[in-house]
Amino acid sequence: MDFALTEDQQIFQRMVRDFATNELQPVAAQVDDEEKFPAENVRKMAELGLMGVSIAEEYGGSGGDSVHMVIATEEIARACASTSTIYLASVSLACYPIYQFGTEEQKRRFVVPLAKGHKLACFALTEPGAGSDAAAIKTTATLRDGRYVLDGTKTFITNGAEADIAVVFATVNKSLRHKGIISLIVDKGTPGFSVGKKERKLGVRGSSTAELVFESCQVPVENRLGDEGSGFKVAMGAIDASRINVAAQAVGIARAGLESSLAYARDRQQFGQAISGFQAVQWMLADMATHVDAARLLAYRAAFLKNQGLPYLKEAAMAKLFAAEAAMSVTTKAVQIHGGYGYIKDYPVERYFRDAKITEIYEGTSEMQRMTIARQLIG
């Protein structure tokens, strides 16, 4: 059993860490404060090959694997959680199912520009009345003359306002529930496809979360992923894999909170000494560090299993559940260690606290993760 990263992975980690520290971290507060989509961050990540880190070179990627993706996500999230959310929505959620389930023509047409960072994507599954119950979606796809006619509304779609490509899930027959769902790749600019309301959020405020509206939107049948009725499998496959990366995102946010707290505790003086000398603070720091390490190891284990082609559903759910709750615990303690300064925007820990919460919600809530784990245990 080897807990060390390979030399290649260590080199990759240093590269992403240096990039994130020097390029992403300095603008993170501005991105959050202005609710500004960091287009320049995305461009720079594309130049480094990060937008296709786990995609084969023949499809425009860097040829890395799931562990490389976890490494990149943690480092990006530590520097700027908003940028990591944009990154995961395009790379992990939207590009992944096209790469896994797409035809050769679909991969050449859609995966290559996404992996090279020339285009951005979004994953459109959630609806006003269908969140955790994905089989309850109401957006319809009616086949007419070789085209699917999409009608419906999607909500809470990350990258929805900026994406060039949307992976959209709809039903051909509501009575079939999950067996009637299909997945369609829809280009921005397709008549009948528009962006609706943009949400204002607690955290990850630099990433857009938008409503997508489809009104008699015609999509060629060749843009369908997989067979008719396989859309639910496509969606769940993407979400299961992306949970590993959300766990890594949570680790990155938690690590940022821990590192800020360590620096502050060493510097802050009270009662004639640094507060790092007080046992109450030391115990909080110890718990924070333990949670970060444990969460990271769970994410690495799930990524390793995925790389080996082994079952990883339970392990991915465990990683996301633990890492998300660890991020909330660590960032809460980070605010507490900073005291009053932790509650104001002059220090970044209040942002980490706000950013951490979403990891307990998207790609399946913590409650849904517990259901998944329990079902895998019980059989």
d(CA 371, CA 379): 12
Residue 88 is encoded by which pair of tokens? 């995961």
Cα separation, 360 vs 353, in Å, equals 12
Q: What is the residue-wise DSSP string for 49-104?
A: TGGGTTS-GGGTS----HHHHHHHHHHHHHH-HHHHHHHIIIIIIIIHHHHHH--H
236: amino acid identity, one letter: M
Q: Is-catalytic flag, 363?
A: yes
Catalytic option among 162, 315, 350, 363: 363
In the chain, beta strands by DSSP E: 121-124, 140-144, 147-158, 165-171, 181-187, 193-198, 209-220, 224-225, 269-270, 273-274
The first and second tokens of residue 334, run together, are: 């980070």
Residues designated catalytic = 363
